[in-house]
Structure 1
C-alpha cells in the first residue's frame, strides 16, 4: 500500500463502534534507526477524537491502528491514553 492510498479512508474506533472521520493527506513518522513507522501524522486545526495535536497535526501512534482495509482504517485507543 502506498501512503497516497490512505487518503479518503474512513477512520473507525473499534471500541466505540463509531466513525471518527475521513483521513485526508497524511504523513508518516518513521524511526530513523529502525525504519519502522511510529505514527500517522494527520494535518488538522481541531482536536481529533482524543489524540494529541502537535503543531497543527494529529499524531496517531501506529500501535493503535489495528487494520487498514480497502475503505477504512480501524483503530483501538485505550481510554487512559486519550487526551481530554
Structure 2
C-alpha cells in the first residue's frame, strides 16, 4: 500500500471512539537504521483547542494499529 493511498484515511481509537484526524494530519517516526515506521504522532483530541494547539500530539506505536480499512485506520490506545 502506498502512503498516498492511506493519507486520507481517518484515524480512530477503538477504545473510546475518538477521532484523531487524517493520516495527513499526523507525523511519522521512523527507525533510523531500517526505515520502518516506529510510531505515529496523532493530534490529541482531548487537548485540542483550536489552531494554537496543533503541536499537541499523542504518541501512537505502530503496533497499536488494529486495522487499516478502506476509509479508516483503527488503533487501540493504552488504558
TM-score normalized by the length of structure 2: 0.64
* Count of residues in correspondence between the two structures: 71
Residues in 2 aligned to 1:3 and 1:27: alpha-carbon distance in whole angstroms = 13
Residues in 2 aligned to 1:21 and 1:15: alpha-carbon distance in whole angstroms = 13
Q: Is the 8 A contact 2:12 2:18 kept in 1?
A: yes
Runs of 4+ in 1 over 6 A off after TM superposition: none
Quote how far apart the aligned CAs of 1:35 are: 2.5
Mark the runs of 5 or more structure 2 residues left unpaired by the alignment: 48-53
Quote how far apart the aligned CAs of 1:31 are: 0.3
Mark the runs of 5 or more structure 1 residues left unpaired by the alignment: 80-84
Quote how far apart the aligned CAs of 1:65 are: 1.0
Aligned CA RMSD, in angstroms, stands at 2.6
